[in-house]
Amino acid sequence: MADTSPVVLVTGSAHRLGARTAQVLHERGWRLVIHYRSREKQASALVASLNGIRPDSATAIQADLSQMDEVRKLGEQAVARWGRLDGLVNNASVFYPNPTPEATGEDWDTVLHTNLRAPFFLLQACLSALQKNGGCVVNLIDIYSEKPLADHPLYCASKSGLAALTRSWAKDLAPAIRVNGVSPGAILWPEGEAAMDENHQRAILEKTPLAQTGTPDDIARTIAFLMCDAPFITGQILAVDGGRSLNM
């Protein structure tokens, strides 16, 4: 008998929040298309783990989301893998400081193309499959889309744009497709160039009513709720931030 389990593409799902989201959706019975850009080893390990739990339930596809042709190819390959697509989670993003006096055209292209252009054209590439199956889209926004973070104008603009797309799509693609967003607060501290020192982390927690960071499960379970348990919710952006947006 053919497997009729729903299929979801989660971008940037080889590690951190994306990986946990993939695992939680897999637990809820979804088949996973794991997208990654450079973390092939982590993506392969996650796919092997998921397939060990349920055979032929996960696959990985590499793509650089800053490149338009690779975005379209990712969408086409995701649909072709099992001949259907029921969900899309736009999780992948680029985050690093780019103060206005120093930001370059390359910064603009990297941040805006990955965080805003890619979700748009990826959904476009998957649109027919999502419409056919009454699909659901969840976009990862950020509380900084409404209250900007200093020296991150391009990142904040990209996430504000994605929030607007979320609401626009919810109107334009209804009733066939539901579109919502999740806006994390302090869940996992940034890594690499965007890393925050302890003073900055402490200042954030002081503005968070629950006085602690969240966990990847907080985000993953919210995404799963929107995709699996909320058939009458669309056009909403849920802040999962311990109340921090109250004090920004």
Report domain extents, the chain: 7-239
Which among 36, 96, 144, 155 is annotated as catalytic?
155
% residues pLDDT > 70 (the chain) = 93
Specify the residue for token string 């994605």: 162
- Going by C-beta distance under 8 Å and a sequence separation of 6 or more, which residues neighbour residue 102? none
Q: Of 102, 84, 92, 66, whose CA–CA distance to 12 is shortest?
A: 92
Verify whether residue 155 is a known catalytic residue: yes
Q: How confident is the model at residue 197 (pLDDT cuts 50, 70, 90)?
A: low
Question: If pLDDT is split at 50, 70 and 90, which confidence band does 244 have?
Answer: confident
Residue pLDDT, tens place only, 10-38: 999 999 999 999 999 999 999 999 999 99
Name the one residue in this structure whose structure tokens are 């929107």. Answer: 226
Q: What is the CATH number of domain 7-239?
A: 3.40.50.720
- pLDDT at residue number 90: 98
Average pLDDT over residues 48-72: 98
70-101 pLDDT per residue, tens: 999 999 999 999 999 999 999 999 999 999 99
- pTM, two decimals, is 0.94
pLDDT, tens digit, for every residue of 123-167? 999 999 999 999 999 999 998 898 898 999 999 999 999 999 999
Paired residues of 183 in beta bridges: 239
